[in-house]
């Protein structure tokens, strides 16, 4: 029973442009939603979160949007930088991670 799905396994974006990463979830009972990023050979690191009672949270270049009616979560990175190239996960608040989306930002 996969509670969150990231349907795009990879995304390629030019430096300076916007990166949009998406998650769809099946369970409406989560208290908050999370985004983590992972570089090769390292453990994931926390990026940003959003409470289930909000629809937007912003932290610098990173903004997370929550559409509860559509059960959809998205992460916007503006402007994208080469250092953002990593795998991004949107785990549930029970820390079920899923398959992730690999973002590549090219010059």
Partner 1 sequence: DAGITQSPRHKVTETGTPVTLRCHQTENHRYMYWYRQDPGHGLRLIHYSYGVKDTDKGEVSDGYSVSRSKTEDFLLTLESATSSQTSVYFCATRMGTEAFFGQGTRLTVV
Q: Which residues contribute to the site for partner 1 (CB under 8 A)?
A: 32, 34, 36, 38, 41-46, 49, 87, 89, 91, 93, 95-100
Q: Least distance in Å: CB of 77 to partner 1?
A: 19
Single out the residue of 6, 1, 70 nearest to residue 34, CA to CA. Answer: 6
What's the CA gap between 87 and 76, in Å, rounded? 14
Report, in Å, the least distance between residue 50 CB and partner 1: 10
Phi (first) and psi of residue 82, to 5 degrees: -55, -35
Q: Which residues contact 9 (CB under 8 A, 6 or more apart)?
A: 99, 100, 101, 102
Cβ distance to partner 1 smaller for residue 53 or 107:
53
Nearer to partner 1, 53 or 69 (CB): 53
CB of 67 to partner 1, least distance (A): 20
């Amino acid at each position: 029973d996969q509670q969150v799905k990231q349907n795009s396994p990879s995304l390629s974006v030019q430096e300076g442009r916007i990166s949009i990463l998406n998650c769809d979830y099946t369970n409406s009972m989560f208290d908050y939603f999370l985004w983590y990023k992972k570089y090769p050979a390292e453990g994931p690191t926390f990026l940003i979160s959003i409470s289930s009672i909000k629809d937007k949270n912003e932290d610098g270049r990173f903004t997370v949007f929550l559409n509860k009616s559509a059960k959809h979560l998205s992460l916007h990175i503006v402007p994208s930088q080469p250092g953002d190239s990593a795998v991004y996960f949107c785990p549930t608040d029970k820390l079920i991670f899923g398959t992730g989306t690999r973002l590549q930002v090219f010059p």
